[in-house]
Amino acid sequence: MKYDVLVLGAGMVGVSCALHLQAKGKSVALFDRQEAGQETSFGNAGIIQREAVRPYGFPRALSVIGTAATNRRLDVRYHASALPRVAGPLLRYFNHSAPAAYEKIAADYASMIAMSIDTHADLIKAAQAESLVEKQGWLMLMRSQKNLEAAFAEADTLQREHGVNHRKLNQQQLAELEPGIAKGQLVGAVHWTDPWTLRSPGDLVKAYAELFNRRGGEMLFGDALTLEKTAAGWQVRTRDGETVTAAEVVIALGPWTTKLTERFGFAPPMFVKRGYHMHYAALPDRKLNHWVLDEERGYLIAPMKNGLRLTTGAELALIDSPSTPKQLIDCEAIARDLLPIGDRVDPEPWKGARPCMPDMKPVIGAVPDVPGMWCAFGHGHQGFTLGPATGELLAALMTGEKPQIDMQPFSAGRRF
């Protein structure tokens, strides 16, 4: 079983890389331990976030740092047991979030986000997946007038500098748009109008994987950690014991990427932000029409195929440590007082992990000093949004073409 390229990882990023390499004429095998779109790409909020031109920086306000340090915030929690492992990357994250450094990072980051809708649109059309997509944007809910005015000002800045479109909603306009939300707790919202939403993000990844198969690609199953270097390139073993070989390999394993690459001398300081979700039944007399973020509390509710999905913020923990969904439980109590959510649908909360880099940018390109190994990981909160853009950019690099944007800021050889 010989291919030009072996792509390890069948989430949104890996599937997108496989499709774009295939479009360049490469024979590609897509390799994972399970079907496409079953890990982080399955459990996210289901938004293609065209508005997310500024990555999540480390908070600088002492009041925020103080409440985070004492584990009293809803939007971020941590495991004390993880601190020895993540302290170094978090310190770098803090330093990169200083105003001058952050502004340069945000400019680089925005160049990729600007590609998000167009690159998804091409694949959605080719995959005949239009029925999965809604184009009504999402709402950022605000509870205080001061924060609403600040949000309006920031939205105006993003529109002026990055072409991000929005509507400003006062309390009455929000109530007219979403009558199912409890009255009186909110003062208004920013309606981000450019993003697209998915009622089942995992289904979109599956649709892309099916397109890959229809175009002659092959999905194979096994343990990516069986990867070995050979004289002719690379090889892995499937769970059926077959050997798969390729001249080049792309590592797109999300939060598990460095577990593999460190064997070949590449161990950048990645850390994970875990997140949880739970589905709830809708209330018969109240409806939620849009994806809504309770910005000042730190959770999001989305009307998904399986029910209303509540997704949490960040939990700083080791990737395989036991589930601790208290963050979700605390957010649920607040959400019930505001939004039309009924009984729990899922037997247990879903848990996933976002692969994060200290400088908030994904890692895309050739692995230093390892000929034939490429990588695409570290997208933080935006792997679902940036998958197709990543695939297009990596395929250009791997085939000697000029990428649409400057790729040096995203290179694997940069200083993290």
| pLDDT attached to residue 1 | 83
Cβ-based burial of 99 (10 A; exposed 0-12, middle 13-18, buried ≥19): exposed
In a domain, 221, yes or no: yes
| pLDDT attached to residue 260 | 98
Q: Average pLDDT of each block of 10 consecutive residues along the chain (416 residues)?
A: 96 98 98 94 95 96 90 94 96 97 98 98 98 98 98 98 98 97 96 98 98 97 97 96 97 98 97 98 95 97 97 97 96 97 97 98 98 98 98 98 98 96
Considering only CA atoms, give the Rg of the chain: 21
CATH code of the domain containing 410: 3.50.50.60
In a domain, 166, yes or no: no
In a domain, 84, yes or no: no
d(CA 376, CA 412): 9
> Which residue, 122, 119, 52, 134, is CA-closest to 304?
134
Measured at the alpha carbon of residue 20, what is the angle toward residues 17 and 24, in degrees to the nearest 5? 135
Q: Could you tell me where the DSSP H helices lie in 282-363?
A: 326-336
Task: Give yes or no for a contact between 312 and 328, defined as CB atoms under 8 angstroms apart.
Answer: yes
d(CA 237, CA 31): 10
**Tokens for 382?**
């935006």
Task: Give yes or no for a contact between 110 and 162, defined as CB atoms under 8 angstroms apart.
Answer: yes
In a domain, 369, yes or no: yes
| pLDDT attached to residue 403 | 98
Strand pairing report for 234-237 and 243-251: antiparallel
Q: At what angle do helices 83-96 and 99-113 cross, to 10 degrees?
A: 90
- What's the structural domain count of the chain? 1
Q: Which residues contact 72 (CB under 8 A, 6 or more apart)?
A: none
DSSP-derived letter for residue 153 is: H
d(CA 294, CA 2): 50
Strands of 179-230 (E only): list them. Answer: 188-192, 196-198, 218-221, 228-229
Q: What are phi and psi of 404, to 5 degrees?
A: -65, -30
Q: Hey, is 71 helix, strand or coil?
A: coil
In a domain, 110, yes or no: yes
Give the residues across from 251 on adjacent strands: 8, 375
In a domain, 68, yes or no: no
Q: At what angle do helices 116-126 and 201-214 cross, to 10 degrees?
A: 60
Q: What letter represents residue 59's amino acid? A: P
Q: Could you tell me where the DSSP H helices lie in 141-225?
A: 145-162, 171-177, 201-214
d(CA 404, CA 115): 9
The CA distances from residue 336 to 140, 165, 173, 230, 298, in Å, are 17, 30, 22, 56, 14
Task: Give yes or no for a contact between 25 and 136, defined as CB atoms under 8 angstroms apart.
Answer: no
d(CA 50, CA 164): 7
Q: Could you tell me where the DSSP H helices lie in 255-382?
A: 257-261, 326-336
| pLDDT attached to residue 220 | 98
In a domain, 318, yes or no: no
> Which residue, 214, 251, 242, is CA-closest to 377?
251
**Tokens for 238?**
């499937």
DSSP percent split of the chain into helix, strand, coil, nearest 5: 40, 25, 35
Cβ-based burial of 323 (10 A; exposed 0-12, middle 13-18, buried ≥19): middle
Could you tell me the residue range of the domain that residue 395 belongs to?
A: 1-57+97-132+198-269+358-416
What sign does the CA torsion over 293, 77, 40, 163 have? positive
Q: How many CB atoms lie within 10 A of CB 92?
A: 18
d(CA 378, CA 416): 12
Give the residues across from 366 on adjacent strands: 374
What sign does the CA torsion over 34, 253, 53, 367 have? negative
In a domain, 175, yes or no: no
d(CA 9, CA 31): 6
